[in-house]
Amino acid sequence: MNKNIPSPKDVSKVCDLSKPINKIVVSRGNPLAKLMIIGEAPGAKEEEIGEPFVGRSGKLLDKLLQNAGIDINEDVYFCNVVKCRPPQNRRPTKIEIQENLPWLYQQIKLVNPRVIVLVGATAFEAILKIKSRISLFRGKWIDWEGKLVMPVFHPSFLLRNPSKEEGKPMSLTKSDFLKIKEKIDFL
């Protein structure tokens, strides 16, 4: 891991979102998995249950993984860039992302996955520091800190664009997950 990456300082606080009423949502899945999935931030369901990707988006994500033959309990570790739910499910601010990143880097270091999937624009920009349209990068393997990283569309975007037609986001994402399955089987 790059020496410039900061480590978490204050264990009592992740960022200003982690007020006492907000649950800190850390992870779901297998901490020994080769595949890490990183999303944006917990929503209402995630905050209630205390696990990432357990709401509507999570159900679709699970389905995409399972359709590709990936075991969601054995093969995957799920987490988010930001550990607490932003009010009204707004996008996390730059400051919130910066304050949460050291925790995410610690998770990556501990789990040490071979493959990382960046789900949606927030994870894509936060990790790769690329300010561009995710549609230009989705489905592509990128080398990051010696790991294979692939950005994919966020399932909440797919829920708003449910067409199954070839060339549309849903069918592109299905094929991205097939590529991911192929890669984890190969590694």
One of 35, 37, 43, 173 touching ligand URA (CB under 6 A): 43
52 near ligand URA, rule: CB under 6 A: yes
Please report whether residue 100 would count as binding ligand URA according to CB under 6 A. Answer: no
CB of 123 to ligand URA, least distance (A): 7
User: Of 14, 33, 58, 111, which one interacts with ligand URA (CB under 6 A)?
Assistant: 58
Is residue 29 a contact residue for ligand URA (CB under 6 A)? no
Is there a contact between 150 and 176 (Cβ–Cβ < 8 Å)? yes
Which lies closer to ligand URA via its Cβ, residue 40 or residue 62? 40
- The stretch near ligand URA (CB under 6 A) out of 41-49, 90-98, 102-110, 174-182 is 41-49
Element (H, E) at 124: helix 121-128
Per-residue tokens: 176 = 């991205």
Please say which residue, 146 or 177, places its beta carbon nearer to ligand URA: 177
Closest CA to 146 of 117, 121, 107, 114: 114
Q: Which residues of 41-68 are buried (b: 16+ CB within 10 A; e: fewer)?
A: bbbebbbeeebbbbbebbebbbebbeeb
Q: Distances from the Cα of 137 to the Cαs of 7, 101, 140, 150, in angstroms?
A: 28, 21, 6, 8
Binding site for ligand URA (CB under 6 A): 39-43, 46, 52-53, 55, 57-58, 80, 120
